[in-house]
Amino acid sequence: MKISENPHVFKCKCGNDKFAAHQQSYHDVIVNASGTFVEDKGIYESNTPYGPFTCTGCGAQHDELESFDCVPEAEQEQPQAVNPDVEASAGSKLRLLLFDECNRDCEGCCNKDIDLAALPVCTSYTGYDMIMLTGGEPMLHPQIIMEAIHQIRRGTRAPIILYTAMTSDKEALADILRQVDGITITLHDPSDVPPFLAFDDFYTSWWRTPRKSYRLNVFRGVKIDLGEVKGRWKVKSGIEWIKNCPLPEGEVLMRYGGARF
């Protein structure tokens, strides 16, 4: 395989540098009062294209563009892209509180120390290198998550990371993960383990998309056999509540305009 004069562009072994890929996008339409389609408003980008990548020249199919037999990485000038697994610069992360409703009553919950209703409402999603969707428990209302993603994607291509501890609705969670750039799942107690393993098995088998951030936080006292986990999760064990829950440096906490308090 060759590299074109642009060091960021890879070519297939046949010499072609264009590939058919997949991309999840929003399709806006106009409907009448009865909900019947009236007019097409167009499609706009919502997620990073993903494989398999099919060469439009010879038809060769590849799982990842970077997996091609190309010039060694050390000899290439690498493109600068936003990676959800890399810490953003100071003041560039938005922690967006979708709503405060939760199905738990955790003793050390950070939300108990904050006047959530007094938080400023986020009116613009531009200027952030990362946007984290939190609650409450966001997965109590998947439709609000999708609504927020829809609004955010109109203003920015910054990575969106979902924070949740609820994995029982595996179909809804998998659908949402097709629209975001990563997820952080927290296992608070032993009862969280079986639904997580069921989701992990379901998502890894059917919905897994490359180039996303997958993180698993496990609270102290929760035991999980990582040998049963199929996904490529970055696991952090022994998690404990942090007293007074100081906001990490470089983060801004706001609430979603459609949130319910």
Whether the Cβ atoms of residue 188 and residue 106 lie closer than 8 Å to each other = yes
For the whole prediction, is pTM greater than 0.75?
A: no
User: Does the pLDDT of residue 134 top 90, yes or no?
Assistant: yes
Per-residue pLDDT, 224: 95
Write out the two tokens for 136: 């409450």
The per-residue pLDDT for range 42-74, each reduced to its tens digit, is 655 555 666 667 777 777 766 666 533 333 334
Question: In the prediction, which pLDDT does 48 show?
Answer: 61
Burial of residue 105 (number of CB atoms within 10 Å: 0-12, 13-18, 19+): exposed
Q: What is the dihedral of CA 152, 47, 2, 56, to 10 degrees?
A: -130
Residue 89 has pLDDT above 60, yes or no: no
Q: Which of 29-43, 47-61, 134-148 has the lowest mean pLDDT?
A: 47-61
pLDDT per residue as tens digits for the range 193-234 = 999 999 999 887 665 555 788 999 999 999 999 999 988 899
Average pLDDT, the chain: 79
Rounded to an integer, the average pLDDT of 68-85 is 39
Domains of the chain, residue spans: 19-75, 93-255
